[in-house]
Amino acid sequence: MPGEGFTIKRRIRKLLRSPATKSKKNRPENLSSKVTLEKVLGVTATGNSGLACDPRSGLVAYPAGCVVVLLNPRKSRQHHIINSSRKTITALSFSPDGRYLVTGESGHLPAVRLWDVAERRQVAQLQKHKYGISCVAFSPNSKYIVSVGNQHDMMVNVWAWKKDLIVAANKVSSKVTGVSFSEDSSYFVTVGNRHVKFWYLDHCKANKASAPVPLLGRSGLLGELRNNFFCDVSCGRGSRSDSTFCITSSGLLCELNGKRTLDKWVDLRTGAAQSLSLSEDMIFCGCADGTVRVFSPADLRFICTLPRPHPLGADVSAVTDAR
């Protein structure tokens, strides 16, 4: 018996010393071909810029750490874009045709990255911010991408992404929480703490030099509402393309006219408001407690309040009483 145990130990030593075992130990395994991300639970969006919807396909994009989740709500199916830098995604936006997705990230020297949605691969990147990115947006003509740094960065960059050039840049003096382009792509608007500013791109189009020009900005004339925190903005569409609509955290829906002057506002009658989205016919205001109020962009007339979402865990298909 003692001799048999010694023989087994010797065989194990020989096996461990064999060339086949050594080469297998030293050969790195390609885990990417074996492990794939199947589903993401949770979301790390911290503001309005952390959620985007492609109006053509209905695809919803949101961040979960360094992953962008592409959710098809009709099929309840996920696809994923993984940020190779492993930095947390803080902002994202679809291109008007839904083909591309632009993302901003946090951390030191963050990048603005452009992704092909169908192939889920990176096609371009811009690294002109130092500390973090709070907002990104495509222009309606898809020529430009604007990125706004967070309160530690404070830079606004306009990127002609097809030419890989920064055509204009400037600094902001306030924390920015929202950005929106005009329908004709001639200007965009940023909002934040006591901040509504119009940035004009006309002189950028005439600039043929490789160096960026100073971005021309003009503040909105807010009158008695100048001390509010403006948390989201959307430029008008169609017949209201000259107007700019923004929402305050205290629950005011405001309209600025083509001269950047506060024209009218209405109380949303809610404890707080966070988000704003509009079409040619309706303005949707996201308020506290899951409340969404709808107004007319023509005169800020109240239209309706949408039904609140069902409680978490409720089985809608099991409901039999329509009352």
- Measured CA angle at 217 (ends 223, 98), to 5 deg: 105
Task: Give the pLDDT score at 118.
Answer: 94
Residue 190's contacts (CB-CB under 8 Å, 6 or more residues apart) are 135, 148, 156, 172, 176, 178, 179, 196, 197, 199, 233
**Across 205-210, average pLDDT:** 64
CA nearest 131: which of 113, 104, 149?
A: 149
Whole-angstrom CA distances from 226 to 193, 219, 229, 246 are: 9, 11, 9, 13
The C-alpha atoms of residue 70 and residue 68 are separated, in whole angstroms, by 6
The C-alpha atoms of residue 91 and residue 105 are separated, in whole angstroms, by 7
Give 10's pLDDT tier (boundaries 50, 70, 90): confident
Give 13's pLDDT tier (boundaries 50, 70, 90): confident
CATH of domain 42-177: 2.130.10.10
Sign for the CA dihedral angle at 201, 204, 205, 206 comes to positive
Contact between 136 and 159 under an 8 Å Cβ cutoff? The reply is no
If one counts every other C-beta atom within 10 angstroms of the C-beta of residue 164, the result is 10
Structure tokens at 213: 């020009």
Task: Give the pLDDT score at 81.
Answer: 95
Give 38's pLDDT tier (boundaries 50, 70, 90): confident
Residue 215's contacts (CB-CB under 8 Å, 6 or more residues apart) are 156, 158, 168, 169, 170, 199, 204
Quick: pLDDT tens for 141-193: 999 999 999 989 999 999 999 988 899 999 999 999 999 999 999 999 999 99
Quick: pLDDT tens for 218-243: 999 999 999 999 999 999 999 999 99
Give 206's pLDDT tier (boundaries 50, 70, 90): low
Burial environment of residue 120 by CB neighbours within 10 A (0 to 12, 13 to 18, 19 or more):
middle
**Which residues does residue 160 pair with via DSSP β-bridges, in sequence order?**
165
If one counts every other C-beta atom within 10 angstroms of the C-beta of residue 99, the result is 15
Whole-angstrom CA distances from 90 to 83, 191, 262, 266, 283 are: 12, 17, 30, 31, 25
Percent of the chain predicted with pLDDT > 90? 73
CA nearest 148: which of 161, 159, 130, 135?
A: 135
Task: Give the pLDDT score at 224.
Answer: 94
